[in-house]
Amino acid sequence: MIPIVGLAQQLEKASPYNKALLEADQETDKAYGTSKGIHTFTPQVRGVSGAGGTVYWVAADGKSLSAYQNGQLQWKADIAKAFQKLIGQTEIQKLALSSEVLFLFTAKKGHAEINRKTGEISAVGYYL
């Protein structure tokens, strides 16, 4: 029989993302006011937990965004590839959740919309 603590540690290691580096989105905030609406990614913040337990996770290199539901990968969007011809290599810097889409902002002033259910990238652009 595995002790409860040992089992919990094994389950934590199996997680595809580090829960300590997550930030709650305002859509999960029942008190309205303690969670953020625009998330800036740093070494201390690499993911956002949204409504329904969905986690949006930025890869360590900042070039892709993945969505997880209950620890299972739902989709992965290659942000670097989407911006390659437009502005060259870039990394994800900020993310804002909306009802149907994610608004993503990159270095070099890139922006895109991503379908929250499918991970499809649309409306890729940049601002001056």
Q: Is 61 left (phi over 0), alpha (psi -120 to 50) or beta?
A: alpha
Contact 79, 92 (CB under 8 A): yes
107 domain-assigned: yes
Structural domain span for residue 83: 17-126
The Cα–Cα gap between 19 and 90 comes to: 25
Total domain count for the chain? Answer: 1
Q: What is the pLDDT of residues 66-121, one digit of tens each?
A: 999 989 999 999 998 888 888 877 899 999 998 899 999 988 888 899 999 999 99
Helix (H) or strand (E) holding 126: strand 121-126
62 domain-assigned: yes
Does this model's pTM top 0.85? no
Alpha helices by DSSP H, 15-88: 79-87
Is the model's pLDDT at 20 over the cut of 60?
yes
CATH at residue 38: 2.40.10.480
Q: Give the chain's mean pLDDT.
A: 82
